[in-house]
Structure 1
Amino acid sequence: MNSVTLLLIGLGCLAAGYLVYSRFIASRILKLDENFKTPAHEFEDGVDYVPTNKYVLWGHHFTSVAGAAPIIGPAIAVIWGWLPAFLWVVFGTIFMAGVHDMSAVWASVRNRGQSMGAVVGRVIGKRAQGLLMVVIFLLLLMVNTAFGTVIARMMVNTPSAVIPVWGALIVAFIIGQCIYRFKLSLPLVSLVGVIALYALIWLGPQFPIELPKEMMGINSVGWWVIILFTYAAIASLLPVWMLLQPRDYINGIQLFIGLGVLYVSILLFSPDVVAPAVNDNLPEGTPSMIPLLFVTIACGAISGFHGLVSAGTTSKQVDKETDARFVGYFGAVGEGMLALSAILVTTAGFATLADWEAVYSAFGKGSIGAFINGGGEVMHQGVGLSKEFSVTMLTVMAALFAGTTMDTGVRLQRYIVQEFGEMYTLPFLKSG
């Protein structure tokens, strides 16, 4: 099977899902109303409730729900073969993830921008709300810890990615000021911002940054984790328009351009898929595909975390209720496209089946390294970018996806703490 064939089939199905199926759900089932007064207007406070351009909000939602999971999950799941992963990503995105995200945004918008916990409290009771909020808080903590560790390891393994990843924060802050304070043209600001981000990717390999292997008894990965969570805690207290929203927006554009380069590379290089459609020669210790496939690929098909983001930060920024289709459904489609790229480069980014089997010698061995190295080879062969630049670019893509999800996750934890303050009348928690 040639990778171009899979690419065209996958993109064609996802496009049909957005253009046809999402329109049906939005107009006939949810009945989205352009004139409905959204919480962003009703409770506008300049911090969390901010009416937002749907393209900017799409960038926030897409990068927040995507994270590194739609890369890592498919990159691991192809050990069972490319066909099960491909089918689950494509049809899961069309019929599950897209509908789930759009519906969660709509449900929260219709309930004053409240979280799922608050809605449960009103419908079922406060005890159920408290229990659900504890569970959600702990799950968010687990997600944030996982992504923080992934980013930290990427910073250690690819020092050339440090400047692009952290420099993106400065670019995002400036963009936020340009859009909201100085009211500059969004297309112009977007263009300059994207150029700046790719200039940072070029700069990264020239000035790689490495932390000492150990300081004060903590290794370099541990220090990066500390730095990341310190930043995320501070960012969660800032108004969304100042850093979170512009960062997600400009990163979303950058990442879609990166996906475009990856797809063009596949079209030009046209590598054959060397991995089997269904792998009958699984390494010893590999678990059964059913049901683990649906757990391994969650983001990229359907994930409950999307509901937390949709009803958490996203719903508080929706300008018009009809924007839920573009923001929610197309945000999920963007994630499906990322997962599709991960499947293609981890099955066609190898010269031979033997090379692929050498990497996939055990369950979990492929992961993000297979995506970065396989994708780097495809981009090098396809559009002629240097292998070092390609690897840095893909590492930055993965780190930015994980970082934006971590940012949103920590902010969602702040929302939960504030909800506890409101539930139990604790003023010091209400303030966040």
Structure 2
Amino acid sequence: MKSYFIGILILVVAYYTYGKYLEKNFEIDERDTPALSKADGVDFVQMNWFKSFLVQFLNIAGLGPITGAVAGAMWGSSSFLWIVFGTIFAGAVHDYYTGMISLRNNGENMQELIGKYLGKKAKVFTKYFLIVLLVIVGVAFITGPAEILQSFTGVNKEIWLTLIVSYYVIATLLPIDKIIGRVYPLFGGALVLMMFLLIGAMLVKGVKIPEITLKNLHPKNLPIFPYMFVVISCGAISGFHSTQSVLVARCLKSEKDGRKSFMAAMYLEGFVALTWAAISLGFFSGVEGLAASGGGMVAVSKMITGLLGKYGLVFTLFGLIALPITTGDTAFRSARVTIAEVLNYNQSSLKSRLLVAIPLFLLAGFLSQVGFNTLWRYVASTNQLLATLGLWTCTYYFIENGKNYWVAGVPAAFMSGMIACYFLAAPEGLGVSNMTFIYILGLLVFISSIIVIGIKASKSNKEVDEARI
């Protein structure tokens, strides 16, 4: 139990210490934000910091910090360490800086930022890769809640798919403050209430959370690295978050709101993931019990109903459905915006938004026939690849602006090595079984990344010196 509460304490202290340092490193000022300079009443709309924070949190907190944390707990309490320190040194850095860099670049989308700082080839790759990721995330968050609703109500999955897609269409087309900005605060408050009720029930019922151990407890003996670091994506670091940060960057009234919106949302998501990982191991008395529970949605439902009794069903339906839906709608919104920007197609009129959205949702309807678990495997891996590109973008931004680039550079190098290991080992990758070879290659990628960052910084400093002369 101590390990869980120490983890929460570390998160709180880090937000008010390291988080403030990250803000200082960026050097916020009083310049006009895109919400003021590019106001269009649709995507560039002013929102206060609290509403922006809740929108950002619910945008990024889909099923990932719940199902990902539960799945990550299969390796044991070592998952606590990745959630806590991943949130502090990778996820919060990524979410805050991608949002702030977008804000400094007139609210530009991720492919534009990647192109500006990493080059045209990276931009070409990202603009198509990003659309694929957003569509997969959106579809996963159609099928996930539809499958849950079918299991509880017995109503055909196709009916739920139709209703959820109908909501997505409305949320994707209307101005961001008309539905998302108004409904999300209610969802956010209810989610936080659910988390505290679960913690309270856990304490009252004496659920024993195991202390930290680095021993690999996975029932199939899958290596902790890199598998756990990909499975627990949204609860530690996720590239999808950057696509949401740029949306909220278009709504901030002041740069001062950035830390309270982007960074605080990631820290809260880390808290959610840590709580679910802890409850998973405590409620089922360890990894063996968790594995026997069936895992995934089934395990989550059993935990909520077991801890909260007759009220658990209500929270199960609300939490496990509202969360993915409030992420899925903004995934499609981001996809619409990204496609429109790739095509240089103005989105100010409803007609123009429909012309982009209709083909998008037709494709989503086709892909929704694929099961959630199948889709999620690809969401997790592509998430971490985009997160790596996001951290590299932040690193190069700081090099160009003469700031401390290592705060983003070290996690960028780490993620590069990790994702290289994963794509070598994973079944959806090359499926290499020699883990010694994989680890050596991953280490070489990490070291090479550090060297590349150092060379880039050295060249940048030399160019600045020559310009001064």
* Alignment partner, residue 298 of structure 1: 233
Letter in 2 for 1:75: V
Quote the Cα distance in structure 2 between the aligned partners of 1:358 and 1:13: 28
**Could you tell me the TM-score, scaled by structure 1's length?**
0.76
* Alignment partner, residue 102 of structure 1: 96
Letter in 2 for 1:49: F
* Alignment partner, residue 404 of structure 1: 326
Q: 1:368 aligns with which of 284, 292, 297?
A: 297
Matched-pair contact (CA < 8 Å) for 1:61–1:310: yes
Segment drifting more, 65-74 vs 274-283: 274-283
Q: Residue 262 in 1 paired to residue 198 in 2?
A: yes
* Alignment partner, residue 271 of structure 2: 337
User: Following TM superposition, by how much is the alpha carbon of 1:126 offset from its aligned partner in structure 2, in angstroms?
Assistant: 5.8
Quote the Cα distance in structure 1 between the aligned partners of 2:317 and 2:223: 30
Matches within 5 A, 1:157-306: 157-159=151-153, 210-211=154-155, 220-273=156-209, 277=213, 282-283=218-219, 285-306=220-241
Quote the Cα distance in structure 2 between the aligned partners of 1:80 and 1:123: 37
User: Following TM superposition, by how much is the alpha carbon of 1:368 offset from its aligned partner in structure 2, in angstroms?
Assistant: 2.7
* Alignment partner, residue 324 of structure 1: 258
Matched-pair contact (CA < 8 Å) for 2:3–2:212: no
Matched-pair contact (CA < 8 Å) for 1:375–1:394: yes
Quote the Cα distance in structure 2 between the aligned partners of 1:309 and 1:315: 9
* Alignment partner, residue 43 of structure 1: 38
List alignment gaps of at least 5 residues for structure 2. Answer: 357-469
Letter in 1 for 2:160: W
Quote the Cα distance in structure 2 between the aligned partners of 1:282 and 1:138: 31
Highest RCO, 1 vs 2 (Cα 8 Å, sep ≥ 6):
1
Matched-pair contact (CA < 8 Å) for 2:80–2:212: no
User: Following TM superposition, by how much is the alpha carbon of 1:298 offset from its aligned partner in structure 2, in angstroms?
Assistant: 0.3
Quote the Cα distance in structure 2 between the aligned partners of 1:264 and 1:281: 27
**Could you tell me the TM-score, scaled by structure 2's length?**
0.70
- Cα RMSD of the aligned pairs, angstroms, is 2.5
1:198-247 alpha-carbon deviations (Å, 9 max, x no partner): xxxxxxxxxxxx42xxxxxxxx2233223322321222010111101222
Matched-pair contact (CA < 8 Å) for 1:151–1:403: yes
User: Following TM superposition, by how much is the alpha carbon of 1:288 offset from its aligned partner in structure 2, in angstroms?
Assistant: 2.1
Quote the Cα distance in structure 1 between the aligned partners of 2:123 and 2:345: 9
* Alignment partner, residue 357 of structure 1: 288
Matched-pair contact (CA < 8 Å) for 2:58–2:184: yes
Q: Quick one: structure 1 residues 366 and 53, their matched pair in 2 at CA, closer, same or farther if it must change by over 3 Å?
A: same
Quote the Cα distance in structure 2 between the aligned partners of 1:423 and 1:369: 43
Quote the Cα distance in structure 1 between the aligned partners of 2:57 and 2:261: 8
The residue matched to 2:17 in structure 1 has which SS? Answer: helix
* Alignment partner, residue 32 of structure 1: 28
Segment drifting more, 39-48 vs 118-127: 118-127
User: Following TM superposition, by how much is the alpha carbon of 1:320 offset from its aligned partner in structure 2, in angstroms?
Assistant: 0.6
The residue matched to 2:147 in structure 1 has which SS? Answer: helix
Matches within 5 A, 1:106-121: 106-121=100-115
* Alignment partner, residue 165 of structure 1: none
Letter in 2 for 1:349: F
The residue matched to 1:141 in structure 2 has which SS? Answer: helix
Quote the Cα distance in structure 2 between the aligned partners of 1:232 and 1:335: 23
Matched-pair contact (CA < 8 Å) for 1:75–1:346: yes
Q: Residue 72 in 1 paired to residue 75 in 2?
A: no
Q: Quick one: structure 1 residues 55 and 334, their matched pair in 2 at CA, closer, same or farther if it must change by over 3 Å?
A: same
* Alignment partner, residue 147 of structure 2: 153
Matched-pair contact (CA < 8 Å) for 1:108–1:315: yes
Matched-pair contact (CA < 8 Å) for 1:345–1:371: no
Letter in 2 for 1:321: E
Q: Residue 314 in 1 paired to residue 248 in 2?
A: yes
Q: 2:49 aligns with which of 54, 78, 89?
A: 54
1:134-158 alpha-carbon deviations (Å, 9 max, x no partner): 1100111111111211111111122
Quote the Cα distance in structure 1 between the aligned partners of 2:345 and 2:315: 45
User: Following TM superposition, by how much is the alpha carbon of 1:307 offset from its aligned partner in structure 2, in angstroms?
Assistant: 0.8
User: Following TM superposition, by how much is the alpha carbon of 1:367 offset from its aligned partner in structure 2, in angstroms?
Assistant: 1.5
Identical residues among aligned pairs (%): 27
Quote the Cα distance in structure 2 between the aligned partners of 1:86 and 1:368: 20
Matched-pair contact (CA < 8 Å) for 2:72–2:232: yes
List alignment gaps of at least 5 residues for structure 1. Answer: 160-209, 212-219, 380-386
Quote the Cα distance in structure 2 between the aligned partners of 1:17 and 1:410: 33
Segment drifting more, 62-71 vs 222-231: 222-231
Quote the Cα distance in structure 2 between the aligned partners of 1:416 and 1:105: 16
Matched-pair contact (CA < 8 Å) for 1:373–1:391: no
Quote the Cα distance in structure 2 between the aligned partners of 1:274 and 1:329: 29
1:304-350 alpha-carbon deviations (Å, 9 max, x no partner): 11111112x11111111111101011100110111011112211113
User: Following TM superposition, by how much is the alpha carbon of 1:99 offset from its aligned partner in structure 2, in angstroms?
Assistant: 1.6
Matched-pair contact (CA < 8 Å) for 2:346–2:352: no
The residue matched to 1:321 in structure 2 has which SS? Answer: coil
